[in-house]
Every structure is written in C-alpha cells, then in structure tokens.
Amino acid sequence: MNRISSVLVALALMTVSTQSGSAQGNDRYGIQNVVYHINYDGGDGDQRYKGALKNIQNHINAVGAENINVKVVLHSYGVGLLASAQSSEELQEQVLSLKHQNVDMHVCNNTLNSKNISYEDDLFDVAEVDIIPSGVAELSHLQMQGYTYIKP
C-alpha cells in the first residue's frame, strides 16, 4: 500500500506541475488591447506593409485571438496598404485573415479627402464603418482607453 500511495502522490504532483506550467504559458500575456499605427509607404513590393501585417499576425499567435483586441489605424501613406491590396492577392489574403480574427482596420477620412481617395473604389474591403475622422486623433483616443501603441 505504501508503494502504491507513493506512486499516486508522485503522479498527482506531476499532473499538477504539468497543468500549472501550461496555465502559466496561456496566462503569460493576459488580455491585450493594441493599436497598430501605419502611416508609411509600403516600399518595394509592399514589403513594409506585408511585414507589418505579419507582425500583427505573430502578435495574435503569441497571445491568442481570444485574448487580444487589435485595431489598425491607417493614415497618410499608410492608406496605400489597402490601395495596394486592390491588386495584390497576398495583401488581400493577409488583410482578410486578420479581419476574420476580429482585427479592425480604421482608415483616416482626412487622408481620403486630402488625397482624393474613394474608399469604395480605390481601397480593398473598406466599408463606411471603417472610416474614422482623423487617424492621429484616433491614436490618441485609443491610447487614452488603454490601448498599447505599436508602430511596426
């Protein structure tokens, strides 16, 4: 009996140790609210845009889609990401994949007006609800709400 009890205690301790180790891994980052700021040109082959979207996906993968709220604010040259996506299947796939993980893409109305851009005709997968009055003001607003600012 003593030996059986010892084995059961050892098994119980290993189970608790394994469970607590995985719980620490899942709980490491907690729930996160993040705003990604894109206001730059995509560069040759839109590599900067593709890299930024990949960073967002890596962030979601690390934290878990159920543990993160992501907003992407696009203004100035950053709106070019969705313009380029009109003709780039790779960008389209990245954008749609992120949107299916509840990533919100916000487009600056000031930029649309100043650059004569039609969100309906010139940008990929943008609806009226995605348009915000000002990209810079939105960044400040989200940070005041506790969103972490990231510029990839």
Query: 68-74 and 32-38 as β-strands: parallel, antiparallel, unpaired?
Result: parallel
Q: Cα-flanking dihedrals φ and ψ of residue 32, to 5°?
A: -125, 140
Q: pLDDT at position 13, please?
A: 42
10 shares a domain with 76: no
141 burial level (CB within 10 Å; 0-12, 13-18, 19+) = middle
81 shares a domain with 142: yes
- Provide the residue range defining the domain that includes 47: 32-150
Q: What is the CATH number of the domain that holds 146?
A: 3.40.1260.10
102 shares a domain with 62: yes
82 shares a domain with 25: no
The number of distinct structural domains making up the chain is 2
Q: Could you read off the pLDDT of 60-107 as tens digits, one per residue?
A: 999 999 999 999 999 999 999 999 999 999 999 999 999 999 999 999
47 shares a domain with 2: no
15 shares a domain with 79: no
Q: 2 falls in which pLDDT band (50, 70, 90)?
A: low
66 shares a domain with 115: yes
DSSP 95-138: HHHHHHTTPEEEEEHHHHHHTT--HHHHSTT--GGGEES-HHHH
Collapsing DSSP to helix, strand or coil, 20 comes out as helix
79 shares a domain with 46: yes
140 shares a domain with 122: yes
40 shares a domain with 50: yes
106 shares a domain with 83: yes
